Amino acid sequence: MKSDHSSPGIDRRALLSGLALLPALPELLLPVSTQAQTAPGAPLASWNDGPAKQAVVDFVHAITDRASPKFVAPEQRIATFDQDGTLWVEHPIYSQVVYCLDRVPAVVAQKPGLKDVEPFKTVLSGDREAMAKLSRHDLEIILAATLTGMPVDKFEAEVKSWLETAKHPRWKRPYTDLVYQPMLDVLQYLRDNAFKTYIVTGGGQDFVRVYSQRVYGIPPEQVVGTMGGTKFGYDEDGKPFLTKEPKLLLNNDNAGKPEGIHLMLGRRPRAAFGNSVGDREMLEYAGAGEGARLMMLVLHDDAQREYAYGPARGLPDSKFGTFPRALDGEAKRNGWTVISMKNDWNRIFPFDS
């Protein structure tokens, strides 16, 4: 029995301590960088030789060898990737939460009555200490106000516009620059071997879809995220449109990840990549199928080039959602491969030389 696994886990919406590090609203207008999707040359060029790279290569060789009993038909090749902390930086705070907080002034401008109402008042104050004390309920109100209530096309345009201007506080670059080149290499390597690659994120499905093709080469229909309902209707000219509703259909984290994968794909992935307790059930689900399987966990142990947190810092658990130490043993038991950012990656970002 693994019922002890149904622990409360880490709630991505409760990560309020990160708010203390919230950057100021972006002021600079700079063009979006166009980043390389893959490193030039050999596959997995950003990976050092070692057990992690070898695990990827061995897996692909096994399932693409028609003479092998582990051969998997091309149309059965599905790989799923967590996003925050697995494909891009999640520190000091999830980009989507920054987006929601950045959107508050625009929401209040449209509904001025909210100006003196909490939690909007606190966010508008810019008082980071007060913002860090916002409750989970407060943050949910902010998410609902900034992610729902508008036509889907308008939401997409707003996210696009934000992505062009918002900057990460450390690198002073657009958030979409802060993707891990070695993971772009893996995405490409798997696609070159007939895999369909999916993002399976606790983040908002519609949010990630805005940039998934450009940033990861993953089309919107291959993004599985936390899902809200929409409502079909007609505008005054009789033209149909969809409005984003404040109705949660599926919280795509923890047990929600395999549930979301079933809803969106209807089949079990062959390979799954994550970095946190929120990815545990997805990796278990991928691993429970027959034949060759690949499950990998990104370990954030590179304080210099990125961050060191979670088990890399000896923490029993982590507010940033990285898998707790207990999972180290579990990873071994389950045949999951841990990726050390420090040792396994010769390059972190596409802009690294």
CB-based contacts of 203, cutoff 8 Å, min separation 6: 12, 83, 84, 94, 96, 225, 226
CB 221 within 8 A of CB 239: no
Angle in degrees, CA 39, 43, 45, rounded to 5: 50
Shortest Å distance, C-beta 350 to a second copy: 21
Choose, by CB under 8 A, the member of 46, 205, 276, 318 that binds a second copy. Answer: 205
| Beta strand residue intervals within 169-313, DSSP E | 196-204, 223-234, 240-250, 271-274, 294-299
Cα–Cα nearest to 225, from 202, 245, 248: 202
Asked if 73 interacts with a second copy (CB under 8 A), we say no
Indicate the residue among 258 and 310 with the shorter CB distance to a second copy.
258
Per-residue x/- marks for a second copy, 287-316, CB under 8 A?
Answer: -x----------------------------
CB 287 within 8 A of CB 293: yes
DSSP state of 237: T
Shortest Å distance, C-beta 96 to a second copy: 16
Asked if 194 interacts with a second copy (CB under 8 A), we say no
Asked if 192 interacts with a second copy (CB under 8 A), we say no
What one-character-per-residue DSSP string does 167-178 give?
--TTT-S-GGG-
Interface with a second copy (CB under 8 A), residue total 43
- Cα atoms found within 13 Å of the Cα of residue 57, Cβ hemisphere only: 12
> What's the CA gap between 59 and 56, in Å, rounded?
5
Asked if 136 interacts with a second copy (CB under 8 A), we say no
Choose, by CB under 8 A, the member of 140, 158, 164, 259 that binds a second copy. Answer: 259
Asked if 240 interacts with a second copy (CB under 8 A), we say yes
Choose, by CB under 8 A, the member of 91, 196, 300, 342 that binds a second copy. Answer: 196
Per-residue x/- marks for a second copy, 152-181, CB under 8 A?
Answer: x-----------------------------
The neighbouring-strand residues paired with 301 are 308
Cα–Cα nearest to 18, from 146, 133, 99, 145: 133
Asked if 227 interacts with a second copy (CB under 8 A), we say yes
> What's the CA gap between 205 and 222, in Å, rounded?
10
- Name residues contacting a second copy, limited to 27-56 (CB under 8 A): none
Indicate the residue among 124 and 250 with the shorter CB distance to a second copy.
250
Stretch touching a second copy by CB under 8 A, among 9-17, 18-26, 230-238, 303-311:
230-238
Stretch touching a second copy by CB under 8 A, among 54-62, 114-122, 185-193, 282-290:
282-290
Cα–Cα nearest to 224, from 204, 249, 247, 194: 204
123, 224, 199, 51: CA torsion to nearest 10: 110
CB-based contacts of 192, cutoff 8 Å, min separation 6: 43
Indicate the residue among 90 and 281 with the shorter CB distance to a second copy.
281
Stretch touching a second copy by CB under 8 A, among 35-43, 128-136, 205-213, 298-306:
205-213
Shortest Å distance, C-beta 238 to a second copy: 5
Choose, by CB under 8 A, the member of 106, 213, 305, 313 that binds a second copy. Answer: 213
For β-strands 271-274 and 294-299, DSSP reports them as parallel
Indicate the residue among 144 and 249 with the shorter CB distance to a second copy.
249
Shortest Å distance, C-beta 1 to a second copy: 6
Write out the residues near a second copy by the rule CB under 8 A. 1-3, 5, 75, 152, 196, 205-206, 209, 213, 219-221, 223, 227, 229-232, 234, 236, 238-242, 249-250, 255-256, 258-259, 262-267, 281, 284-285, 288
